[in-house]
Structure 1
């Protein structure tokens, strides 16, 4: 996903274009990692005085609902990033310090037998948390 695709998706779904929404999306595009809502608020408050946390969360929730952003929870805090541009099935390694991600192209679900008649799997999420090489070196 990129900013242009995200803005088109908003328009196609009947949502208004706003400068705030575009600036939020550009912030995620530039970051290329998971970000907490407070980072988004701090970034936008310089340009939009009086911007509320509710406005940020409302837009982040909308972006997740539309498939523009992905959400995960790290240390009890929701974090967001652009949805991956690739359509192939994959999972992520996520750095706990900087929020950078790396794709894992194997799926553990392929090794787990789910032949149960009383449960129909419709989706799953698999994430591995740790530290990228840069953050690991800074911790030692």
Structure 2
């Protein structure tokens, strides 16, 4: 997803375009990996003196709810990245730097017979470890 697509989703949902929201989206589009609220706050402080964690968390939560950002828990802390694709896939996530690698194999393909009487609405599969650069 790019910044313009994300802003379109935001506007269609009835939310205002603001400079803060645009910079948040630019940050995640540029980073292209999982980052924390603290990372975002550090990035935004030079642009918006006195910006609060409340503002950061409120926007991260909104973007996550709207599907603009994806979230995961790493080391007990929530991390976010811009939604990366419109096709089904999963991720390997580096626990040190947040780099992701798409995984196209899906474990649900092997579980369908075990869940034949159930309706699965959604699922999430993530593998955690260290990328080559962090090993």
Would you call these one fold, judging by a TM-score over 0.5?
A: yes
**Aligned pairs for 1:1-140 within 5 A:** 1-85=1-85, 87-112=86-111, 113-117=113-117, 119-136=118-135
Q: Where in structure 1 do 4 or more consecutive aligned residues deviate above 4 Å?
A: none
In angstroms, what is the RMSD of aligned CA positions?
Answer: 1.0
The number of equivalent residue pairs is: 134
Residue deviations 1:92-121 (CA, integer Å, cap 9, x gap): 00011110100000001111133353x432
Instruction: Please list every run of 5 or more consecutive structure 2 residues that lacks an aligned counterpart in the other structure.
Output: none
* TM-score normalised by structure 1 residue count: 0.92
* TM-score normalised by structure 2 residue count: 0.95
Instruction: Please list every run of 5 or more consecutive structure 1 residues that lacks an aligned counterpart in the other structure.
Output: none
Q: Distance in 2 between matches of 1:17 and 1:114?
A: 46
Q: Distance in 2 between matches of 1:125 and 1:29?
A: 22
